Amino acid sequence: MTPDLFAAGPSPAERAAELRAQLHHHAHRYYTLDDPEIPDAEYDRLFRELQNIEAAHPGLLTSDSPTQRVGGRVLDAFSPVRHRVPMLSINTETDTEPSGARNFDTRVRRALGLTEADAPVDYVAELKFDGLAMSLRYEAGVLVQAATRGDGEVGEEVTTNVRTIQQVPLRLPADAPPVLEVRGEVYMRRDDFDALNDKQRAKIAAGAKGEKTFVNPRNAAAGAVRQLDSGIAAQRPLSFFAYGLGEITPPDQGGPAFETHFELLMQLKAWGFPVAEQTVLCSGADALVAYHQRIGASRDQLPYDIDGVVYKVNSLALQRQLGFVTREPRWAVAHKYPAQEQLTTVLAIDVQVGRTGKLTP
């Protein structure tokens, strides 16, 4: 009789590790790549199996377990977090017309001492998301802290809430550096925002106390991130896009040696972070103008809100050469579009009187 007929199955620790790896993989395929490999029912089965193992063996529960996305922890207050690398704001180009892109290119070329005879400057053009800036800190490949921008120097720790965002990796691949801070935007898709408000209206109609609808996706996202009860945050449909770095292990200590911003973004994508597909390389002012016009024309068709685009000098060496002025990078600019919200005058309000005499405008 062969020995493997009596071979024991994996231990609870081994099975839990296996399930965590599978669930991370399938969540990334579903939420980030929009290319699921298994049916929802199979994912739910694996998830419940992991939950049962962790319930039976509490010592196997880890901070990067997919089961920690469901929230449930209630805080008394948010703890302050001092950013190791400040989260600085980007200067806004006041000219909202396409010519604003040329203004930025002119300033960059002048600062670099370039003439018309010199080659065009290479840029990365990105969307300017209308959400909440966030810094995600990973140590040894595990998400250990999430913090809001705050004043740029000190933000608020919102780790338990950010763990509920399915697009935020809880664990990174083995080739990620020992320390990695990813900067990005927490936002809410328009369809998710509409569905959330539909639920809120249903609760209000059913007589629920303290419920309200939300004004816009940005306010809804910011309010969800700053919930003291992560269980409430877990019920809000939040998403995430990565667009930069904070602190990272330097190359002489085993970290990556990036030469361009675009290379950096593609590596973040390889590590499992969502990067907007509209992020492109542009050479010179004409390409920036074309990008601004193209995104402006398709802005209403995007599944999420933006209030402009961002241009960044692609070469990291040139970024260092350009440096900062009044704590804003010379190598980047936010090029907004004309505002879509305008002031209006309310001409009349209809008031409905309920059976109990309650007035509802």
Active site residues: 128
For residue 75, give every residue at least 6 positions away whose Cβ sits within 8 Å of its Cβ, in sequence order, or none: 160, 228, 229, 230
For residue 287, give every residue at least 6 positions away whose Cβ sits within 8 Å of its Cβ, in sequence order, or none: 120, 123, 125
Cα–Cα distance, 166 to 173 (Å, whole number): 17
Distance from the Cα of residue 320 to its chain's centroid: 25
Q: Token pair of 191, please?
A: 């369809």
> Which residue blocks in 137-253 are alpha helix, DSSP H?
159-162, 190-205, 217-225, 230-234
Max Cα distance, the chain (Å): 89
129 in the Ramachandran plot: left (φ > 0), alpha (ψ -120 to 50) or beta? beta
Cα–Cα distance, 96 to 339 (Å, whole number): 9
Cα–Cα distance, 29 to 77 (Å, whole number): 34
